[in-house]
Every structure is written in structure tokens, then in C-alpha cells.
Amino acid sequence: MGDPMARRLLAAGHAVTVWNRTAAKAEALAGAGAHAVSDLQDAVRGAHIVISMLEAGPTVDGVLRAALPGLAQNALWIDMSSTQQAEAQAFHAQLTAQGRRFIDAPVSGGVGGAAAGTLAIMAGGAAEDFAEAEPVLAAMGRATLVGPAGAGQVAKLCNQLIVGATINIVAEAILLAQAAGADPAAMRAAIRGGFAESKILDVHGQRMLERNFVAGGKVSTQLKDQRNILAAAEAAGIVLPLTELVTARYLTLSKTIPQADHSAALIGLEQLNPGQRVGDAPDKLS
């Protein structure tokens, strides 16, 4: 995700310095006009805005702590990773206590949305900081301020809650059509444009019909998000029974094909229904 996002910033005319824990990934952006550096301190030194896009909260925490000594006073750190709400709030507290600023701004839209500059960006932070960040974020997609620090992560978890559950529902509809004697592809075409229409039915429904489970969003990543959703629900004092079921499904799937696309929920459903399989194509997993 970080690569196409950086390319969108460069295409919009921003001066971009890039650093990655794997140096070759940063160097790959040099041809697009980025200034690639191998030292994290060099990456943040003098920067007014720092953007991080990393795999999970603990990684963000490690990078942030390592970068902090070189971070300019009043610099604005925009973390676009998907983390827990409590982690984002802790990053905000840590930075503001030392004279810097923080916005959590996770995204939805996948690698395709990042490349096209059409990401949905959910931001949490102070209104004045968001106003400063918005012109930069606009190069990557549509940004919306949803509340104070940590609220961006809550909005992303709500997004992932809907995505994770809907993928499983679409899988059930496709398998039901197959098992009950209808053409799954024709069923999908018939209901499109009605109330069941969704991006999930469009993109992941087609993936399931083609049995194309090459990772866009991974099972392992969706499971991480599911667990973060449940952690947020527990902190808020509510119970989400359907999300608990969806989490259990992804937990089972993660034991065998964690690197598959999360639309591989269909495979898990077929395993619950021996003898039932959608289509004759072999599974594409990598």
C-alpha cells in the first residue's frame, strides 16, 4: 500500500522522502522522483508532515519511538496504518506530550484504490491538524474527519466489520445458489442493482466465481482486524455476536491459508459442507 500511496503524492507534486525497513522497497520509488534514504532519522529530519503506513500497531510504535528524536517540533505525524483505537490514542498522547501532533488516518480501498488515488481515508485528530493534512491526503483519496484521535481507527474497524461479514454472506449466497440448483454467476447477475448490490458482491463475488484467491486483503489481515473490532467493542462495553461468528470463521481459515485473499471465506464455507464446491476451476492461491 505504501508504494502506490507515495507515487500519488509524487504525482501531485509533493516532495517525498521515503524510508522502509526493507531498503529496496524505498529505493524502488527513486525512479518516480522520491528521495530514498536508508536511515529513519534522515527520513524524518526537517519534515513538517510524516506519513507512516505499516502492518500493525506494535510496528508503528517501534518506528515512531525510533523516529521521535529526529522529529521536528510541531511536526504532524499521520499514521495511515490499521491499528487498535487504544494504540492510536497512545501515539497521540506520546507525540503531543513532546510537542508534536498526530492524526490517525487508516484507509479502505486496497492497492487498486491506492494506485488510483481513490482511497477512503478516515481521520481522527484535531480539526486544525486535519485542515492542514487534508490537501496532502487529497492526493491519495477522499479524507473525512470522524472525531478525535483514535476515531479514525474506529471508523476503519466499522468498515472492516462490514467487509468481513459481507464477504461471508456473499459466500453463503453463492454456495446456496450452487447447492440448490441455480447458476451462481447468473444469480449474482440477477440480484445486482437491487438492495443486495455492494462492492463486495461486485469484486469478491467475482473472485469467488473465478476461485481467484490471490491475496488482495489477506485472511491473516482480516483476522487481525476482526480481533481489533472485538477489542474496541469490549472497550465500549457492547457485544457484537455476528462479528464474533465471522472472527471464528477467519480464525479457522487462518490455520490453513492465512496468506489467501479474505474472499477465501468461500473455501472455509465449502469445508463445512463436504461435497459442495462452486465451479470447476482450480483454486488460485498465489
CA dist 16 and 6 (Å) reads: 7
Catalytic residue among 25, 156, 199, 218: 156
224 is catalytic: no
Annotated catalytic residues are 156
